[in-house]
Structure 1
Amino acid sequence: MTQRVCFQLQVKPDHIDAYRAAHAAVWPDMLEALKNTGWNNYSIFMRPDGLLIGYFETENLQASLDGMAQTEVNGRWQAAMAEHFVDLDVPADQAFDYLTEVFNLDDQLSRV
């Protein structure tokens, strides 16, 4: 069964442009690693104040997180992104503030 995962992080206000630029051209090996470890339909949204909301779908959240942790590129990416976030003392992918899904249209329609 596919899990829908949503998380939030906060980008420092003076790092918003740099964060956007980095995500406009994510390294090809990082993109491949995400896909190969089960991060599907992955998107990140950002408010003007730097609040990030990320969303992805996976068959197994822990397996996807563990898979990325085992890749060399993830370590490099997390190190490159670390300076952009507010008050993180661990890599961003270990600091996700997960949000609970309270509504899904397709789920409810399937019960009608």
Structure 2
Amino acid sequence: MSTTSRVCFRLQVRPELLDEYRARHCPVWPEMLAEIAASGRRNYSLFLGDDGMLVGYYETDDDAAAQAYLAASETAARWESEMSRFFVDLTGRPDQAAAPLIEVFNLAAQLSAIDTITESE
């Protein structure tokens, strides 16, 4: 039985490049989309604030394997090389250097815990 990992991360986009950053994602290269899917990442979204704060989210059954797959991908290396100039204070490839945020609340998990307690009473 596999457990789905929910991964969220934050990066800062250079304010002067916000419009270009948005344009580069409409659409993303088809071959890059295929590599993301092949890595095992799904339900992947990016959210961008007017101040350049970028929050990303995806789900995967094995994040280490997904990271390794993308790290070995020539397509992902090309994409990340082109995208790296958009970010403030980032060393390395954006897909590898973004630190994940810690999940502090999950509605489904808490509702499930309540249901489990209720069922055992």
Q: Which amino acid aligns with 1:39?
A: R
Once the two structures are overlaid, the 10-residue window that deviates more, 24-33 or 81-90, is 81-90
Which structure 2 segments of 5+ residues have no match? 115-121
Structure 1 gaps of 5+ residues are: none
Cα distance per residue 1:6-31 (max 9 Å; x no partner): 00000000010111001111000000
**Runs of 4+ in structure 1 over 2 Å off:** none
Alignment partner of 1:100 is 2:102? yes
Aligned ranges 1:10-89 → 2 under 5 Å: 10-89=12-91
Distance between the aligned counterparts of 1:64 and 1:94, measured in 2?
A: 11
Q: Distance in 1 between matches of 2:99 and 2:51?
A: 17
Q: Displacement, 1:95?
A: 1.4
| 2:10–2:54 contact (8 Å) kept in structure 1 | yes
Give the alignment's TM-score, normalised by structure 2.
0.90
Shift of 1:88: 1.6
**1-structure distance, mates of 2:65, 2:31:** 19
Asked which structure has the greater CA Rg, the reply is 2
Percentage of identical aligned residues: 47
Task: Tell me the number of residue pairs that the alignment of Structure 1 and Structure 2 aligns.
Answer: 112
Query: Partners of 1:42 and 1:98 in 2: how far apart?
Result: 14
TM (normalized to structure 1)?
A: 0.97
User: Could you say which structure has the greater relative contact order, defined with CA pairs below 8 angstroms and 6 or more residues apart?
Assistant: 1
